Amino acid sequence: MKIGIIIQREYLTRVKKRSFLLITFLAPLFFAALMFLPTLLIKNSEKFDEKRTIAVCDESTVFINRFENTDFNTFIYIDNDIDDAKNLVREGVYDGVLYIPGTMLNLPTNAEIYSKKQIPMTVTAHIRSTMKQVLEHQKLLASGIDPDIVKASATTINVQTIRMSEEEGKDKKSYGELEFLLGMFLCVIIYFVILLFGQQVMRGVIEEKTNRIIEVIVSSVKPFELMMGKIIGIALVGLTQFLLWAVLTIAISTVASSFLPTQDVFSTGTVMNQQITELQTHPVNNESLQQVFEVVNSINFKGILWCFLLYFIGGYFLYSAMFAAIGAAVDNDTDTQQLVMPITLLLIIPMICSGLIANAPDSSLSIWMSMIPFTSPAAMMLRIPYGVPIWQIAVSVVVLYITFIIFTWLASKVYRTGILMYGKKVSWKEIFKWIKY
């Protein structure tokens, strides 16, 4: 009963804060801006870029008429000396001059661009790519090799991974790159959310300790009940915020997409409709649509979602208990830095080992990291898209939640002593002493 009252208090106190309302309603606008701003910038790129004329002073004569003009860049080939060409740039006749020095024996591989303004990286990349293609073409001809034959000999090799099932006829194709990206995405979400809301628990405890409210609360509530109520209450705040973010982001994106042109390449729905229409119009490409469906069907999104919720909540509970203990032991945010660092490192370890886990999700290292409760929320998210035995998930989840209860109990013992300690810097050694009391 008391835990329920504490949960209600923690939830309503934070939900009614002005900062909560601002972040909740402004964040979807930010997410929507990330989705549509690149589109608007590209559509209005002419307003941000300017047309320029670049003189080409090619002493080697290898690249004459080789650079293609673009919407913003016009290449003009001149016979002037490089010093005269630079003077023309200073006088404003040209925006820049591309100087390619001549060589006696070898093909020219160096070039210089002179301009009064900074030349965009896209221009230098275009020049570099063109020179590379021309020189490769010339070298092949000099070796007596037809470049068209080399181009035609380029072959794409597809190696399909198929995960075998114990039951015959239920083998399933596996797409390692997509599974790694999905696992890494979920791992990053868990990392940032635990870090964000776990520190909110810590700051909430510090605030109550500073205001001396905690002394009144502890006199009528057991430390364990207070800890449990605080953690669950703030967890509900986080879930509420995420739900509102998802709903508002979808709503804002839907409204914003209605004001964009139908040919907008960044509109997911429009692109999918165009692709489906094209595939229906050209039956030859139906194989591509079938491959897309195979990729989507190869991933068990429903199972991944349920596992994500289990590890998301369990990981948040576990780390929130540790953050709350730190909040009870210190007086201000400044003193938390040295105590928070070890906890943060525990969260970072799976991300550092993400390449190893993705490369060998069934290795002993990957299995142990997905069983240890401090690393299991992130490590298991990296493994699950590849397929994990049910017994491993069950054991990992049970260990995670049991560890959460144990650490909540230990943190409550730190609470009991730490909340009444003021004006003293606390170390990990002293916190362990409080646990032994």
pLDDT in tens, 377-386: 988 888 888 8
pLDDT at 217: 63
Residues 82 and 202 in one domain: no
Q: How do the residues of the chain divide into helix, strand and coil, expressed in percent and rounded to 5? A: 70, 5, 25
Q: Is 426 exposed, middle or buried (0-12, 13-18, 19+ CB in 10 A)?
A: buried
By the 10 Å C-beta count (0-12 exposed, 13-18 middle, 19+ buried), 341 is classed as exposed
pLDDT at 403: 93
- Say whether both 75 and 208 belong to one domain: no
**Structure pTM?**
0.65
Domain boundary among 153, 186, 218: 153
CATH of residue 129:
3.40.190.10
| Residue-level pLDDT at 167 | 62
Residue 72 belongs to some domain of the structure = yes
Question: Is there a single domain that holds both residue 104 and residue 59?
Answer: yes
Q: Which residue, of 87, 122, 153, is where some domain finishes?
A: 153
- Statement to judge: residues 123 and 213 lie in one domain: no
Question: Does residue 331 share a domain with residue 233?
Answer: yes
Note whether residue 183 is domain-resident: yes
> Do residue 360 and residue 221 come from a single domain?
yes
Do residues 183 and 381 make contact, with C-beta atoms less than 8 angstroms apart? yes
- 126-132 contacts, C-beta under 8 A, 24 or more apart: 126/67, 126/70, 126/73, 127/67, 127/98, 130/63, 130/66, 130/67, 130/68, 131/63, 131/66, 131/100
Q: Identify whether residues 323 and 422 lie together within a single domain.
A: yes
Handedness of CA 237, 242, 245, 251 (dihedral sign): negative
Q: Which domain holds residue 227?
A: 172-251+299-436
**Alpha carbon of 267 to those of 44, 59, 160, 251, 272: distances in Å?**
17, 47, 31, 14, 9
Per-residue model confidence as pLDDT tens digits over 115-132? 988 888 888 888 999 999
Does residue 25 sit within a domain? no
Pick from 153, 181, 206: which residue ends a domain? 153
Q: How many CA atoms lie within 13 A of 175 on its CB side?
A: 14
User: DSSP E strands: which ranges in 85-217?
Assistant: 96-100, 112-115, 161-163, 172-174
Q: What's the domain count of the chain?
A: 2
Both tokens of 410, joined, read 């230990």
Would residue 425 count as lying in a domain?
yes
Residues of the chain with pLDDT under 70: 1, 38-49, 158-176, 211-219, 256-299, 333, 419-424, 437
DSSP state of 259: T
Backbone angles phi, psi at 269, to 5 degrees: -65, -40
**Token pair of 418 as six digits:** 């730490």
133 and 61 within one domain: yes
Measured distance CA(294)–CA(272) in Å, rounded: 16
Examine residue 358 and state whether it is found in any structural domain, yes or no: yes
Structure tokens at 320: 């929130």
Give the CB-side neighbour count of residue 345, counting CA atoms within 13 A: 6
Q: Are residues 123 and 228 in the same domain?
A: no
Q: Is residue 265 part of a domain?
A: no
Cα 371 from Cα 353, distance rounded (Å): 15
Query: Is 71 part of any domain?
Result: yes
Is the Cβ–Cβ distance between 324 and 223 less than 8 Å?
A: no
| pLDDT at residue 214, rounded to an integer | 60
If asked whether residues 142 and 180 sit together in one domain, one would say no
Residues 348, 419, single domain; the answer is yes
Q: Are residues 226 and 357 in the same domain?
A: yes
Instruction: Quote the tokens at residue 371.
Output: 């069983």
pLDDT computed for residue 373 by the predictor: 92
Residue 280 within a domain: no
